[in-house]
């Protein structure tokens, strides 16, 4: 199966994609993670990505396609796409690349979460540098006295673009450029709406249920 996890920033796509891909043995393809690792490696491409990411703007389609093309041509198992495609041009290119290897998108799972909910989540979101788990801390608390809920490490970091102001800019980008992609997949009857509120486990169960429904 080749599944797209769709939804605004902060909807839980990364967390849910990690769970789904490890449970099924699928590849987790997150263009945001790929861009952040280019940026941390200090490459010229990473610097280019940073120009857009640091402003909460979408990276231009051509750069995104150059980044993801080789990953798709080497796909050996199912895949969960997380944060990609984010424009209709990216969705069309993805269909072409998949059809080149005899595959297609099986389902688009749309995580539905309101603006106020995503802003609150993003402003409190941190990642553990030791175990990689994404989690939430209290809005006002300082990171220095917090530890990872999963492995106890004190190495919790906040993403550069995870402030309240940036969350609103990213949400606007989503509404303007990414939400229209849903219509592209609705025409193909691939979209299933999922309530994104609730615990990680509850949302994961809804996703698994939607994948097993034959629609
Ligand atoms: P994410 O980790 O998916 O929330 O992405 C973080 C940032 O990376 C976004 O706000 C964009 O600046 C950039 N980005 C990630 N994926 C894409 C994409 N498919 N198209 C354009 N920009 C992207």
Ligand 1 atom having least distance to the Cα of 56: 10
Ligand 1 atom having least distance to the Cα of 90: 19
pLDDT band at 160 (very low <50, low <70, confident <90, very high): confident
Residue 168 bears catalytic tag: no
CA atoms of 46 and 83, how far apart (whole Å): 17
Highest mean pLDDT among 70-79, 146-155, 180-189: 180-189
- At residue 214, the pLDDT reads 64
Contact 115, 174 (CB under 8 A): no
Percent of the chain residues topping a pLDDT of 90: 75
CA atoms of 190 and 70, how far apart (whole Å): 25
Residue 69 bears catalytic tag: no
Residue 138 pLDDT > 80, yes or no? Answer: no
Is 59 close to ligand 1, i.e. is its CB under 6 Å away? Answer: yes
Is 179 close to ligand 1, i.e. is its CB under 6 Å away? Answer: no
Mean pLDDT of 166-187: 95
Residue 139 pLDDT > 60, yes or no? Answer: no
Residue 121 bears catalytic tag: no
Largest CA distance in the chain: 50
The structure's pTM equals: 0.89
Average pLDDT, the chain: 92
Is 184 close to ligand 1, i.e. is its CB under 6 Å away? Answer: no
pLDDT band at 145 (very low <50, low <70, confident <90, very high): confident
């Amino acid at each position: 199966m080749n599944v797209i996890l769709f939804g605004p920033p902060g909807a839980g796509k990364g967390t849910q994609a990690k769970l789904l891909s490890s449970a099924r043995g699928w590849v987790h393809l997150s263009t945001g993670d790929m861009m952040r690792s280019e940026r941390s490696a200090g490459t010229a491409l990473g610097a280019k990505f940073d120009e857009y990411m640091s402003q909460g703007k979408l990276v231009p389609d051509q750069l995104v396609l150059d980044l993801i093309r080789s990953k798709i041509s080497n796909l050996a198992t199912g895949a969960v796409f997380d944060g990609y495609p984010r424009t209709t041009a990216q969705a069309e290119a993805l269909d072409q690349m998949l059809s080149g290897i005899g595959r297609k998108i099986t389902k688009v799972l749309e995580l539905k979460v309101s603006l106020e909910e995503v802003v609150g989540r993003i402003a409190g979101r941190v990642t553990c540098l030791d175990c990689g788990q994404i989690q939430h801390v209290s809005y006002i608390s300082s990171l220095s006295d917090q530890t990872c809920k999963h492995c106890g490490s004190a190495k919790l970091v906040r993403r550069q673009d995870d402030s309240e102001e940036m969350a609103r800019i990213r949400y606007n980008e989503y509404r303007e450029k990414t939400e229209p992609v849903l219509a592209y997949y609705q025409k193909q009857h691939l979209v299933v709406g999922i309530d994104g509120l609730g615990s990680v486990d509850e949302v994961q169960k809804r996703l698994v249920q939607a994948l097993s429904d034959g629609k």
